[in-house]
């Protein structure tokens, strides 16, 4: 793909987010404090979210630009985190091209059927992923509204620690990686061990390849849409990649993840470097999965700037697996959010200390915020991260 320069109004091009703590960390620079955001920071842990969602189904909320935007902003205002993550779901692009999928409360994405064999895959891949470009207006609008709000009302570094960062809080766009989407598509819904996907990749490598190629094209377009509309970084969630071996990851998964990311790798913005000379930078990309200790090097190898680490591996060990010079994101065990404050505080400080082994660190959890989390604890953790790292 040939390079595309983001519009001058894009927050990265306009200089609003290019020197934010988050974007600087994603390019390997440390700033006045370690940036922090939480996976699943929007959602059920927030009473204001539960109020807003009453009577609206999950996917309807995702496709209502005003609602999706408001839900995205809620945790940014409340916790003073250094990024918003776009409120959506990894199955939204499937819904937008006409796949029969809903999100069942307490369960997750459920499909009208399972796409577990060649016939199922043929039916699915008969849909043209380019259809997304005709149906993605609610995504573009929700991102644009969110970014406009972040630019005007939620300045970056609005913390009490004497911040020197300026501009506005960046929005992170995200998409599901092909394997994680395939884990749902082949089962027809959530599963524990993702057996159907692991079977198909060996039982019918041709059908698997077709499924992965199609999914990469669709999810890559979804990610690109968010960046073009104003997201300042992109995160690819391969949440369930930890279910497979390194060999299977390299052969049957990594090429499709790389193909998905090709949809954003060509997007760039113009800026000036430290000496004032003009330079072009690409949009930062983060890659995360759960239980991926064995895969971290390979997950970095598909061409990402920052690797997200789950809570099973200390960050200083992750540095050795990913290779030095790579910024890391993570990795407080979400279970600790319910522990007594002294225990939690010690764990936060430990994560920060181990994160010093990387050139830059974005503090996060090792997976999503549990729905029953006390939101005041998250606010306190965000403040502690800023204070302790300043």
C-alpha 366/C-alpha 165 separation (Å) is 26
For ligand 1CP, the binding residues in 187-206 under the rule CB under 6 A are 190
Contacting ligand 1CP (CB under 6 A), which of 115, 214, 222, 237?
Answer: 237
- Nearest approach in angstroms of CB 353 to ligand 1CP is 26
Judged by CB under 6 A, does residue 30 bind ligand 1CP?
no
Judged by CB under 6 A, does residue 111 bind ligand 1CP?
no
Contacting ligand 1CP (CB under 6 A), which of 89, 187, 217, 305?
Answer: 89
Judged by CB under 6 A, does residue 239 bind ligand 1CP?
yes
- Residue 269 in marked binding region: no
- Residue 24 in marked binding region: no
Judged by CB under 6 A, does residue 174 bind ligand 1CP?
yes
Judged by CB under 6 A, does residue 40 bind ligand 1CP?
yes
- Residue 44 in marked binding region: yes
Judged by CB under 6 A, does residue 108 bind ligand 1CP?
yes
Would you state the torsion angle of the CA atoms of residues 311, 316, 317, 320, taken in this order, to the nearest 10 degrees?
130
Judged by CB under 6 A, does residue 179 bind ligand 1CP?
no
- For the record, the structure tokens of 218 come out as 């669709």
**Contact letters for ligand 1CP, residues 247-266 (x by CB under 6 A):** --------------------
Nearer to ligand 1CP, 87 or 208 (CB): 87
Number of residues counted as binding ligand 1CP (CB under 6 A): 21
Contacting ligand 1CP (CB under 6 A), which of 2, 8, 55, 105?
Answer: 105
- Nearest approach in angstroms of CB 324 to ligand 1CP is 27
- Residue 198 in marked binding region: no
Contacting ligand 1CP (CB under 6 A), which of 33, 46, 58, 264?
Answer: 58
Contact 274, 267 (CB under 8 A): no
- Nearest approach in angstroms of CB 300 to ligand 1CP is 18
- Nearest approach in angstroms of CB 7 to ligand 1CP is 25
Judged by CB under 6 A, does residue 232 bind ligand 1CP?
no
Contacting ligand 1CP (CB under 6 A), which of 6, 12, 23, 39?
Answer: 39
HSE value, Cβ hemisphere, 13 Å, CA-based, for 360: 21
Nearer to ligand 1CP, 105 or 340 (CB): 105
- Nearest approach in angstroms of CB 56 to ligand 1CP is 9
- Write down the residue that tokens 């039916």 correspond to: 123
Q: What residue number has its CB nearest to ligand 1CP? A: 108
- Nearest approach in angstroms of CB 204 to ligand 1CP is 23
Task: Write a three-state SS string for the chain.
Answer: CCCEECCCCCCCCCCCCCCCHHHHHHCCCCCCCCCECCCCCCCCCCHHHHHHHCCCCHHHHHCCHHHHHHHHHHHHHHHCCCCEECCCCCCHHHHHCCCCEEEECCCEEEECCCCCCHHHHHHHHCCCHHHHHHHCHHHHHHHHHHHHHHHHHCECCCCCCCCCCCCECCEEEEEECHHHHHHHHHHCCCCCCCHHHHHHHHHCHHHHHHHHHHHHHHHHHHHHHHHHHCCCEEEEECCCHHHCCHHHHHHHHHHHHHHHHHHHHCEEEEEECCCCCEEEEECCEEEECCCCCCCHHHHHHCCCCEEECCCCCCHHHHHHHHCCCCCEEEEECHHHHHCCHHHHHHHHHHHHHHHCCCCCEEEEECCCCCCCCCHHHHHHHHHHHHHHHC
- For the record, the structure tokens of 244 come out as 């497979």
Judged by CB under 6 A, does residue 90 bind ligand 1CP?
yes
- Residue 287 in marked binding region: no
C-alpha 328/C-alpha 184 separation (Å) is 27
Judged by CB under 6 A, does residue 85 bind ligand 1CP?
yes
Annotated binding site for substrate: 40-44, 89, 184, 239, 367
Where do contacts with ligand 1CP occur on this chain (CB under 6 A)? 39-44, 58, 85, 87, 89-90, 103, 105, 108-109, 174, 180, 190, 237, 239, 368
């Amino acid at each position: 793909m040939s390079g595309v320069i983001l519009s001058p109004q894009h927050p990265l091009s306009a200089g609003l987010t290019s020197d934010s703590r988050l974007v600087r960390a994603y390019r390997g620079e440390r700033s006045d404090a370690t940036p922090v955001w939480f996976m699943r920071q929007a959602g059920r842990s927030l009473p204001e979210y539960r109020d807003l969602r009453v009577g609206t189904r999950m996917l309807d909320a995702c496709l209502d630009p005003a609602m999706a935007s408001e839900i995205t902003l809620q945790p940014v205002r409340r916790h003073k985190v250094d990024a918003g993550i776009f409120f959506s779901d990894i199955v939204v692009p499937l819904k937008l091209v006409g796949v029969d999928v809903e999100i069942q409360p307490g369960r997750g994405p459920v499909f009208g059927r399972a796409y577990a064999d060649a016939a199922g895959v043929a039916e699915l891949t008969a849909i043209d992923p380019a259809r997304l470009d005709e149906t993605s207006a609610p995504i573009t609008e929700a991102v644009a509204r969110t970014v406009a709000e972040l630019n005007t009302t939620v300045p970056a570094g609005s913390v009490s620690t004497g911040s020197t960062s300026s501009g506005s809080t960046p929005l992170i766009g995200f998409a599901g990686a092909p394997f994680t989407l395939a884990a749902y598509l082949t089962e027809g819904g959530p599963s524990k061990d993702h057996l159907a996907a692991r079977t198909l990749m060996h039982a019918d490598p041709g059908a698997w390849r077709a499924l992965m190629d199609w999914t990469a094209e669709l999810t890559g377009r979804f990610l690109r849409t968010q960046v073009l509309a104003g997201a300042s970084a992109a995160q690819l969630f391969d949440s369930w990649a930890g279910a497979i071996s390194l060999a299977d990851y390299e052969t049957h998964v990594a090429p499709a993840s790389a193909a998905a990311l090709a949809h954003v790798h060509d997007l760039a913005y113009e800026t000036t470097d430290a000496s004032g000379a003009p330079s072009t930078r690409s949009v930062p990309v983060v890659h995360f999965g759960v239980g991926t200790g064995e895969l971290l090097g390979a997950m970095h190898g598909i061409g990402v700037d920052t690797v997200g680490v789950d809570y099973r591996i200390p960050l200083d060990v992750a540095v050795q697996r990913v290779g030095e010079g790579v910024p890391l994101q993570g990795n407080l065990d979400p279970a600790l959010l319910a522990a007594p404050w002294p225990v939690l505080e010690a764990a936060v400080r430990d994560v920060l200390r181990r994160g010093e082994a990387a050139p830059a660190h974005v503090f996060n959890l090792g997976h999503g915020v549990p729905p029953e989390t006390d939101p005041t604890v998250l606010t306190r953790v965000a403040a502690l991260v800023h204070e302790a790292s300043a």
